[in-house]
Amino acid sequence: AQKVTQAQTEISVVEKEDVTLDCVYETRDTTYYLFWYKQPPSGELVFLIRRNSFDEQNEISGRYSWNFQKSTSSFNFTITASQVVDSAVYFCALSEANTGRRALTFGSGTRLQVQP
Amino acid sequence: GAGVSQSPSNKVTEKGKDVELRCDPISGHTALYWYRQSLGQGLEFLIYFQGNSAPDKSGLPSDRFSAERTGGSVSTLTIQRTQQEDSAVYLCASSREILGNEQFFGPGTRLTVL
């Protein structure tokens, strides 16, 4: 069965610090998809990124970057020069291609607090 | 274009009553999902609809929970004989049915069972 682990329950940083959110996943499928979502205090889940299992290329989008490593089953998320607006709960999620289930399996989330 | 909408935004009910939660997906999205988010259980999958295929109900926690999707668009999640442990935020998401496509979430319905 699939599983996503976000070991960091809560992280607190000061503005402008870099921060990395860890995500480790388990799956028996050979084709799968990984996601990061942001849930700000308003509550609505916001899609950030999707990677498929065949594409290990790291991605950068502004201050955000993602490091996908199949060898360690990890898909970590780094925020560079954090800002107060980055304060939110961040969820890593997984879906599988060959199990028939298209739904997302979420990690338990990491609450990031960025202090001014 | 509008995002996923859900109604009501908040629902308070008494234990034992039935409730209906509504979801309007993004236009053109053929896949629709229900999840719930609670303090103890995190984000859990409930049910998934895709076109005219039989829904994937594998996440429904009990037979008190059911959902339907009419005309391939709007969906209603029904909880019968609500219990206090049903209190949670119920989230709806939709996506284009391309394998592994991102899901877009609605604002949720916060259900409180007294």
* Strand, coil or helix: A72: helix
Q: What is the pLDDT of residue B24?
A: 96
Edge-to-edge strand list for the sheet holding B5-7: B5-7, B19-24, B75-79, B65-69
Q: What is the pLDDT of residue B83?
A: 97
- Which residue type sits at B109? T
**Where is pLDDT greater, at A59 or B100?**
A59
- Interface probe with A: pick from B26, B32, B45, most Cβ of A within 10 Å: B45
- Residue A88 β-bridge partners: A112
Yes or no, beta carbons of B48 and A44 under 8 Å apart? no
Closest Cα to residue B89, out of B1, B2, B4, B6?
Answer: B6
Element (H, E) at A110: strand A110-115
Q: Residue A1's pLDDT is what? A: 78
Contact yes or no for B48 and A47 at CB 8 A: no
Is the CB of B35 less than 8 angstroms away from the CB of A103? yes
Residues of chain A with pLDDT under 70: 100-101
Compare B2 and A10 and report the one with higher pLDDT: A10
Find which of A23, A27, A45, A51 to mutate to test the B interface (most B CBs within 10 Å of its CB): A45
Q: Residues B26, B4: contact at Cβ < 8 Å?
A: yes
Nearest to A50 among B48, B58, B100 (CB): B100
A52 → closest Cβ in B97, B100, B104: B100
Total beta-carbon pairs less than 8 A apart between chain A and chain B: 60
